[in-house]
Amino acid sequence: MKDLTQGSIVSHILTMAPPIFAGMIMMMLCGLIDLYFVSGLGDAAVPGVAAAGNAGFLINALMQVLSVGTVALIAHAVGRKDRADANLVFNQALGLSVACALLTWIAGTVFARSYMRAVAADDATIEADTIYLIWFIPALALQFAFLVMSSALRGTGIVRPTMIVQAVAVGINIVLAPVLIAGWGTGRALGVAGAGLASSIAVLFGVVMLWMYFRRLERYVGVNRRLLRPQLREWKRILNIGLPAGGEFAMMFANMGVIYYVLRDFGAAAQAGFGIGSRVMGLIQVPAMAIALAAGPIAGQNFGAGNSVRVRETFRKVALIGTALMITVTMAAQWRPDLLLGDLAKDPETMAVAALFLQMVSLNLVAQGLIFVCSSMFQGLGNTRPVLLSSGARLITYAMPVIWLSAQSGFRMVDVWRLSIVTTTLQAALSLWLLRLEFNKRLR
């Protein structure tokens, strides 16, 4: 356990952010690796894997319910020096993760094809989507336990073990992807099924390794069979904080689904370009996201300890550092978006769509960074309802107008990105206002 209620806040941020950054980069690389190797399988493979990956946003909504509730409650307990409560929250969240994993596996298998019919552009893409998703579902299910264990460590101020485990898991994925997708060394190419299977095997190894860490090395929180038995009161504590945060990811899933829907008329290349561009955009946002995520445990421990001055200072320092990073990334995306995309797609039309997406939507980055910071601060304070309100406002102001615009004559792809810039800026302003109200209400 690391006490974040003492010492320099900037030092805590700069100590925690790099391992969080490295872990996030490694997990995102899995998706980019899949896209790289399936790009040689045909025109339907890239949009298929990209659109199927969007389903991960919906599962991430459920994951965030557990992750955010676990981080907040354990951080508060650490701030109060209440180790017993921290252990209780960890074990109850771990039990919930098993239930969510089973639900994900069953629902994903049953509804995979129906979901793909709703978002894919043609029959070939639907088929590729469905095959990939079915083999990728085990990875999504296993990530529940992985996320709860890593969130418990983050709540106690520890992030390095998770980074190491993620590095090993990504290494396994990198090795397996060409073997299973293209048949390197085996002569048995599984195509998009191999992409999903490689990710599932890698996540399985990650879960096993992190479980062994808890069993042998972790001392502050640990697995206790007696505490694993369901306690509805504790489930309610976790869900009260986690559900609104999960709703935020569900809103993101809905927005992504709307974009895939309105891009259908522009063809598979447009969907593939958006899929690649959004993956790269997520990758270049990671430094600021890592800084923002570091704020949650710092704010949470200090809120639990009753130190409101350090909570406010955490917000100011994180917002300043995050904004500086986002300005730098925006300049890079405006200058040469093609350099950021690399060689992720062979089709010139797909790459043109991805480059346009990066160049325009990068104007969102400063506002998006402030949204990340506000979200993390709300998590640290243990009240994520304002996050859901902010995301809901974005969904209403973006999804409905863009669907209406798509039905009008003269509708262009650039209109999708322009509306995104406006609505993200409005969401950032709303998030800042709501955080100010929360500070005035809960901090003395």
pTM of the model: 0.81
Q: Name the average pLDDT for the chain.
A: 85
SS (H, E, C) 233-272: HHHHHHHHHHHHHHHHHHHHHHHHHHHHHHHHHHCHHHHH
pLDDT band at 48 (very low <50, low <70, confident <90, very high): low
The CA distance from 398 to 180, in Å, is 39
pLDDT band at 44 (very low <50, low <70, confident <90, very high): low
382 and 303 Cβ atoms separated by less than 8 Å: yes
pLDDT band at 208 (very low <50, low <70, confident <90, very high): very high
> What is the rounded average pLDDT of the residues 45-73?
74
402 and 258 Cβ atoms separated by less than 8 Å: yes
Q: List, as one string, the DSSP characters of 49-83.
A: HHHHHHHHHHHHHHHHHHHHHHHHHHHHHHHTT-H
The per-residue pLDDT for 50 is 61
Instruction: Say which residues have a Cβ less than 8 Å from residue 171's Cβ, sequence separation at least 6.
Output: none
> Token match 């891009």: residue?
263
250 and 63 Cβ atoms separated by less than 8 Å: no
The per-residue pLDDT for 122 is 65
The CA distance from 322 to 327, in Å, is 9
> Is residue 34 pLDDT above 90, yes or no?
no
> Is residue 351 pLDDT above 70, yes or no?
yes
> Please, is 409 exposed, middle or buried when counting C-beta atoms within 10 Å of its C-beta (0-12, 13-18, 19+)?
exposed
DSSP character at residue 362: G
Range of 64-68, 282-286, 379-383 with top mean pLDDT:
379-383
Q: Find, among 218, 211, 227, 214, the residue nearest to 88 by Cα.
A: 227
The CA distance from 222 to 239, in Å, is 21
Report the percentage of the chain scoring pLDDT > 90.
Answer: 38
pLDDT band at 118 (very low <50, low <70, confident <90, very high): low
Helices (H), 80-122: 83-119
Residue 35, token pair as written in the block: 């896209």
Range of 38-52, 58-72, 178-192, 412-426 with top mean pLDDT:
412-426
266 and 96 Cβ atoms separated by less than 8 Å: no
> What is the rounded average pLDDT of the residues 303-309?
93
> Token match 């300049």: residue?
331
- pLDDT tens digits, one per residue of 314-348: 999 999 999 999 999 899 888 877 777 776 666 67
166 and 206 Cβ atoms separated by less than 8 Å: yes
- Upper half-sphere CA count for residue 228 (Cβ side, 13 Å): 9
Tell me which of 30 and 162 has the higher pLDDT. 162
Q: Note the residue count of the chain.
A: 444
The CA distance from 138 to 312, in Å, is 41
pLDDT band at 82 (very low <50, low <70, confident <90, very high): very high
> What is the rounded average pLDDT of the residues 53-74?
80
